Amino acid sequence: MKAQKAYPALPLAIVISCEHAGYRVPAALQSLFVGKENLLHSHRGWDAGALPLARAWARQWQAPLFFTTISRLVCDANRSLGSNALWSACTAQLAPAQKKAILQRWHSPHRQAVYTALATLVQQGLVLHLAAHSFTPVLHSIVRTMDIGLLYDPARQHEQALARHWQQALHRQAPHLIVRRNAPYRGAADGLPTWLRKRLPPERYYGFEVECNQALLAHGAFPAAVLAASLEEALVKLRLKV
C-alpha cells in the first residue's frame, strides 16, 4: 500500500482583542453617569471576565493584544459607525461634535489598531482573530444555560470548519461545558470581526468572537486553558499551526 504523502501544517498568526474590557468613563463625560454606577458595573457597561481571558490567550501564544476599558455605554467599540447600538441612552443625545470627538479618541483608535496588526500579518499568511467577550447568565429573567459561544460567519467555509472542529474538541476535553455555535448572538451580525471581514482577504482572515458565560467565570471555572487547548486541537485537524 502506497504511503500517504504528509503535508506540512500552514502557519497561522493569532491576534487577540477585547472590546468591552472595562467600565471606565472619561472625566469629561462623568456627569452623564452620575447615579448610574450600578448600570456601569452591570453587563450593559462591560464584559466582566473578558480581559483576563484575553490576557491568558495573549500569554499562551505570545500574541498581540488590543483592548479598551472605556465603557460600552460611552460608545461601543464592537459596533460600526452606522449601528443603532453604537451609542447608549446615556450618550445618544450628545451633540454631533461631542460624538465625533468620542469616536476619534476612543472608538476609532482601538478598531484601527486591531486592523493594522491584522493587515500586516495577513500579508505573511493566515491570521486568526479572537475577540474575547462575556455574556450575562440571566437576560430578561431568562437563565442562559450555555457556557461558551463560538461566533463566526457561517457563509465562510473556513470559519465554519474551524468552529465545528473547535466545538468537537471542547466536547472531548471538557464534556461538562455546554458549547454552542453562533449563540447567544450571531457571528455575522455587526461586530468588529464582521467589519474586518470587509477589509481583509477572505481566504486569509479567520474572525471569531468567543462568548463566555459570566457565571462560569465567576465560579472560578476559568475556561482560558481549555479554550486554548481545544483550539489547538482543532487547528491540527485543519493542518494549521500557531
Which single residue is written with the C-alpha cell 462591560? 46
53 phi, psi to nearest 5 deg? -65, -50
For residue 12, CA distances in Å to 7, 9, 152 come to: 15, 9, 17
Amino acid identity of 53? Answer: L
Residues 129, 114: contact at Cβ < 8 Å? Answer: yes
Q: Is the pLDDT of residue 5 over 70?
A: no
Rounded-to-integer distance, Cα 173 and Cα 59, Å:
21
**pTM, to two decimals:** 0.95
Rounded-to-integer distance, Cα 210 and Cα 134, Å:
8
DSSP H stretches of helix in 76-223: 96-102, 108-122, 157-173, 192-197, 214-218
- The interaxial angle of helices 224-237 and 157-173, nearest 10 deg, is 130
pLDDT digits (tens, 9 = 90+) for 135-179: 999 999 999 999 999 999 999 999 999 999 999 999 999 999 999
Q: How confident is the model at residue 85, as a pLDDT?
A: 96
Q: How confident is the model at residue 195, as a pLDDT?
A: 98
How far is it between the farthest Cα atoms of the chain? 76
Arithmetic mean of pLDDT, 207-219:
90
Cell, residue 67? 483592548
Q: How confident is the model at residue 9, as a pLDDT?
A: 78
Q: How confident is the model at residue 6, as a pLDDT?
A: 54
Q: Is the pLDDT of residue 239 over 70?
A: yes
Which single residue is written with the C-alpha cell 488590543? 66
Rounded-to-integer distance, Cα 178 and Cα 49, Å:
18
pLDDT digits (tens, 9 = 90+) for 28-58: 999 999 999 999 999 999 999 999 999 999 9
Domains observed in the chain: 10-22+48-67+112-241 (3.40.630.40)
